[in-house]
Amino acid sequence: MSAKSNTITVANENSSNDFGLEKGLKTAIVTAIDSLTVNTDEYLALNKYEVDEANAHIELIDNPSEEEFLKLVRVCPAALYKIDAEGKQSFDYAGCLECGTCRIACGDTIIAKWENPQPTMGIIYRYG
Amino acid sequence: MADFDAIVVGSGCAGAVAAHELASAQKNTLVIERGERNGAKNMSGGRLYTHSLAAVFPEYKTEAPLERRIAHERLSFITDDACTTVDFSSGQMLVPNSDSYSVLRAEFDEWLSSKAESAGAEYINGIAVEGLLKDDSGRVIGVRAGDDEISADIVILADGVNSLLSKEAVGFKAPLPSTMAVGIKQVIELPEAVISDRLLSQDGDGAAWLFVGDATHGHIGGGFMYTNRASISLGLVATISDLFTAKRPIYQMLEDLKAHSAVAPLIKGGKVVEHSGHMVPEGGLKMMPPLTADGVMLAGESAMMCINLGYMVRGMDYAIAAGMHAGRAAAAALNKGDTSAAGLADYQKALEDSFVLQDLRQFSGFPHFMESTTRLFKEYPQMLSDVMNTLFVVDGRPVAPLKKSLKPIVKQVGLINMLKDVRGGIKAL
Ligand SMILES: Cc1cc2nc3c(=O)[nH]c(=O)nc-3n(C[C@H](O)[C@H](O)[C@H](O)COP(=O)(O)OP(=O)(O)OC[C@H]3O[C@@H](n4cnc5c(N)ncnc54)[C@H](O)[C@@H]3O)c2cc1C
Ligand code: SF4
């Protein structure tokens, strides 16, 4: 996996700690998540994967709600769900750790499909 | 006639042991594991209580890839800049089969599966079971994997916490995010001697260390550290639903923990070699699905057999014991020629008689306690830090009587609340 720059750089350190969801989406994203100092992609680059370029084993519904998507931003240990400063969402299954957390968090809302990767594909832990 | 006597889905702790027991009883056994190597998909914090391994493999001490014996138990309550620690060690912790070892699953699971294979179990690796075969009566009669359909008189689901099959097998719906935690971990390499020195450990020994409070920035969960031989496993476990309102994503919490003044010196100069994630069931007995149906049984975390007490996560020893009982009960049912739910009833009974279901019953109130006692993660670590600062910080100002200094600290939480929480905690344990 190539290390990409982290796109969740949303921050407004002076904003209140309350969620601003009702204040409109833009504000919500800006206040909902602190600025990040970690680039998880660099860690994922240390892992061993057999990436299946042809098949996405996890798929989202079209136009997922901002509120649900933000849950995934917070819980995915691989930081694969991202929202940039403009509020644009992205998801990349390639670094998936196959933990299933997104399935449990949003399986009946915005996760449309969660399957095990195709034979021999996906994460290969060398330590575990 | 079915293709196999038994099919075991998954070769983690429960599956490999179940397959070992079946094959040892001369049953024609197939294990299907989606990892190309056994263990390739698995992660745990990494501390195995050995008692249940000893029951199946008495020779484990010399054979199993154990990392370090855990000789130090540490529990720290941390705020952003303080750390109050209980450090416990005892002779009793070191008595064989009451002891525990750190393990790394890639290697450990490979060894476990080698035991099943030497007993005669066949393996298919690199393919996930996608569905179950059922007859008209709804009885499970085999599995579907890729284009293959393979039949068996009994199917054991040992496919772990993220089982995609338990719904089809026993009607288990995906658990709620409030009953599951996400675990994140990094393996950080360091020279063996450095680890021993930093953790004040003898050669071959090491420490288990849990962090409550700022590790999850006040959210329900905690940090953990286990010493391996030449690496440190450092991570976090946090309740999924509670993270929904967190200001920081879980991976940032881990990065913050690594930078905490109590943790940073431990891992200084270390090299991250792996970043992993896995879930932990924490709903206890109340979230457990039925353990059997006609032609099928569940063992280990596919049946949510795990406890997370904050100061201790246990699942591997339950999975090993459940795998053992499942394998034995399945072999007995095959001998009788009855693998219906009724024919498998001895499995449930064996677990009821063992520590597995007795522990899960004992701790069944604990998930609620953790959930409803959020003070554990914010107020109490802060209170401890305030008390310790009062005791230990000397700045030249006249010292006030202890009672007077403590009063405002205790008042923040309130004596009644504290008593309530202590009582709740004792009741739940
Ligand atoms: C962060 C963290 C810390 C933990 N710390 C500890 C600890 O210190 N001590 C402890 O005792 N426990 C700990 N646990 C819990 C422990 O890891 C589990 O309880 C234990 O691994 C469960 O064993 P199992 O055999 O049920 O499942 P697993 O070990 O997960 O095995 C399931 C197997 O099934 C395979 N599989 C899944 N689906 C399929 C399919 N469809 N087809 C084929 N194969 C499939 C998987 O690849 C896997 O090999 C921790 C867990 C986590 C996440
Ligand atoms: S399965 Fe786990 S690692 Fe993969 S996308 Fe979902 S939450 Fe992230």
Cα separation, B318 vs B315, whole angstroms: 5
Residue with structure tokens 């393990």? B103
Average pLDDT, chain A: 82
Contact status of B408 with chain A (Cβ, < 8 Å): no
Q: Which ligand is nearest to the CA of B144?
A: 1
Cβ contact B249–A19 (<8 Å):
no
Residues with CB under 6 A from ligand 2: A 58, 76-78, 80, 96-102; B 277
- pLDDT band of A10, cuts 50, 70, 90: very low
Q: Whose CA is nearest to atom 7 of ligand 2?
A: A76
Question: Among the atoms of ligand 1, which is closest to the Cα of residue B301?
Answer: 26
State the nearest Cα–Cα gap between A105 and chain B, in angstroms: 5
Provide the whole-model pTM.
0.93
Integer Rg of chain B from CA: 23
Selecting from 3.40.1030.10, 3.40.50.300, 3.30.70.20, 3.90.105.10, what CATH number does the domain A41-124 have? 3.30.70.20
Highest CATH level, class, for B4-65+104-174+286-362: alpha beta
Q: Which of residues 272-291 of B touch A (CB under 8 A)?
A: 272-279
Cα separation, A70 vs B409, whole angstroms: 36
Q: Which of A38, A115, A125 sits opposite B276 (nearest CB)?
A: A125
Distance from Cα A94 to the centre of ligand 1, integer Å: 22
Contact status of B12 with chain A (Cβ, < 8 Å): no
Q: Which two tokens stand for residue A124?
A: 């290969």
Cα separation, B303 vs B284, whole angstroms: 10
Query: Please, what is the angle between helix B105-119 and helix B13-24, to 10°?
Result: 10
pLDDT of amino acid B414 = 86
- Beta strand pairing call for B231-239 and B83-88: unpaired
Q: Which two tokens stand for residue B102?
A: 């750190």
Residue with structure tokens 């919490």? B253
Highest CATH level, class, for B178-281: alpha beta
Question: Using CB atoms within 10 A of its CB, is residue B408 exposed (0-12), middle (13-18) or buried (19+)?
Answer: exposed
Q: Which of residues 99-138 of B touch A (CB under 8 A)?
A: 104-109, 126-128, 130
Closest CA to A105 of B10, B246, B373: B246
**Residue B49 and residue B100 in contact, taking contact as beta carbons nearer than 8 Å:** yes
Nearest CA in chain B to A40: B251
pLDDT of amino acid B402 = 85
Q: Is B210 in the pocket of ligand 1 (CB under 6 A)?
A: no
pLDDT at A30 over 70: no
Contact status of A60 with chain B (Cβ, < 8 Å): no
Nearest CA in chain A to B163: A100
Cβ contact A125–B39 (<8 Å):
yes
Question: Using CB atoms within 10 A of its CB, is residue B391 exposed (0-12), middle (13-18) or buried (19+)?
Answer: exposed
pLDDT of amino acid B283 = 87
Cα separation, B206 vs B199, whole angstroms: 7
Q: Which two tokens stand for residue A89?
A: 């969402």
Q: Which residue has the higher pLDDT, A85 or B157?
A: B157
Q: Which of residues 162-221 of B touch A (CB under 8 A)?
A: 162, 164, 174-177, 180, 182-184, 186-187
- Beta strand pairing call for B69-78 and B205-213: parallel
pLDDT at A16 over 80: no
Contact status of B80 with chain A (Cβ, < 8 Å): no
- pLDDT band of A28, cuts 50, 70, 90: low
pLDDT string in tens for chain B (429-residue length): 899 999 999 999 999 999 999 999 999 999 999 999 999 999 999 999 999 999 999 999 999 999 999 999 999 999 999 999 999 999 999 999 999 999 999 999 999 999 999 999 999 999 999 999 999 999 999 999 988 999 999 999 999 999 999 999 999 999 999 999 999 999 999 999 999 999 999 999 999 999 999 999 999 999 999 999 999 999 999 999 999 999 999 999 999 999 999 999 999 999 999 999 999 999 889 999 999 999 999 999 999 999 988 778 899 999 999 999 999 999 999 999 999 999 999 999 999 999 999 999 988 888 778 778 888 888 899 999 999 999 899 999 988 888 888 888 888 888 888 888 888 888 877
Cα separation, B112 vs B107, whole angstroms: 9
Q: Whose CA is nearest to atom 2 of ligand 2?
A: A99
Residues in chain B: 429
Contact status of A10 with chain B (Cβ, < 8 Å): no
The full DSSP string for A20-73 is -GGG-HHHHHHHHS------HHHHHTTS-EE--SS--SEEEPSS--HHHHHHHH
Residue ranges of chain A that CATH labels 3.30.70.20:
41-124
Closest CA to B139 of B342, B301, B328: B342
Q: Which ligand is nearest to the CA of B49?
A: 1
Indicate the top mutation candidate among A69, A75, A80, A109 to test ligand 2's pocket, ranked by most ligand atoms within 8 A of CB. Answer: A80
pLDDT of amino acid A31 = 65
Where along chain B do its domains lie?
A: 4-65+104-174+286-362, 178-281, 369-428
Q: CA A37 → CA B87, B168, B238, B255, B258, distances in Å?
A: 31, 42, 20, 8, 12
Q: Whose CA is nearest to atom 8 of ligand 2?
A: A76
Which residues of chain A have a CB within 8 Å of the CB of B107? 127-128
pLDDT of amino acid B427 = 81
pLDDT of amino acid A12 = 36
Nearest CA in chain B to A105: B177
Indicate the top mutation candidate among B20, B36, B42 to test ligand 1's pocket, ranked by most ligand atoms within 8 A of CB. Answer: B42
- pLDDT band of A29, cuts 50, 70, 90: low
